[in-house]
Structure 1
Amino acid sequence: MRIGELAARTGCSVRALRHYEHAGVLSSVRQDNGYRSFTPDDAARVRLIRLFLSVGFTLDEIRRFAPCWQAGRGPDDPVEADVAADFYRRKLADIDAQLRDL
């Protein structure tokens, strides 16, 4: 599907989708005519990106762990899995602190 259709399916602007692609959290394939082409799975990916952003993740943080959630599993390397788990624990603690402040 083209970027306009992905935007319509996700309620996300075309500009935001281009930004996500530039930031490395979303990818597309260029067709011969130069248009971006996305898969149906990309709609779910965009919704997940927006969810992560809405709870305080940055695009850099999302990109760092994107291979895990895009594959639907954790890192293969146990050390990297521990790093990811520690990161998520810290992020949850930050969110809990924000909730207490609110």
Structure 2
Amino acid sequence: MKIGELSRTTGVSIRSLRYYEQQGLITSVRQPNGYREYTLLTIETVETVKLYLNLGLTTEQIASFLTCVLQNKEAFCTEVMPVYRKKLAEIERQIVELNQIKANLIDRIAFLGQQEQGNDE
């Protein structure tokens, strides 16, 4: 299967597929004419990569456990849990920061709202 067909089948852009290959997430065989040729297994690999990207993981993080996940089940890959825990901690820190920003914005809106009311009188 050529890269265009893989792109259409998975909904992933050709540019992203080339990037996945550069990162070692997928592989292809180069034909004599220079075209990349992918196996049907690559569809499953790309779908798995999409899942992990949607969890907010980086391609580097995915590469660290992708082979294990594809060969086994996720539950049997010890490499996955530390990555998940690290990502969850990162998200929790971001939530704290966003809540602080939200509180600051609410305070600023309330303050400026009072200023506007004072100018209306």
TM-score, normalised by the number of residues in structure 2: 0.66
The CA distance in 2 between the partners of 1:8 and 1:24, in whole Å, is 21
1: CA distance, partners of 2:31 / 2:51: 29
Question: Pairwise CA RMSD of aligned residues?
Answer: 2.2
Is the 2:53–2:59 Cα contact (8 Å) retained in structure 1? Answer: yes
- Distance across 1 between alignment mates of 2:17 and 2:83: 26
**Deviation of residue 18 (structure 1)?**
0.3
The equivalent position to 2:83 in structure 1, one of 65, 84, 87, is 87
Deviations 1:60-98 (A, max 9, x none): 0011111111213445xxxxx3x5433323334445x26
Indicate the residue corresponding to 2:64 in structure 1.
64
Misfit runs of 4+, over 2 Å: 72-75, 83-95, 97-102
**Following the alignment from structure 1 to structure 2, what is the Cα–Cα distance between the partners of residues 72 and 37?**
25
Aligned to 2:44, the other structure's residue is in SS state helix
Larger RCO, structure (CA 8 Å, separation 6 or more) = 1
In the TM superposition, what are the counterparts of 1:1-102 in structure 2 within 5 Å?
A: 1-73=1-73, 74-75=76-77, 81=78, 83-95=79-91, 97=92
Greater shift, 86-95 or 54-63, is seen at: 86-95
For this pair of structures, how many residues does the alignment match?
95
- With normalisation by structure 1, the TM-score equals 0.77
Q: Percent identity?
A: 40
**Larger Rg belongs to:** 2
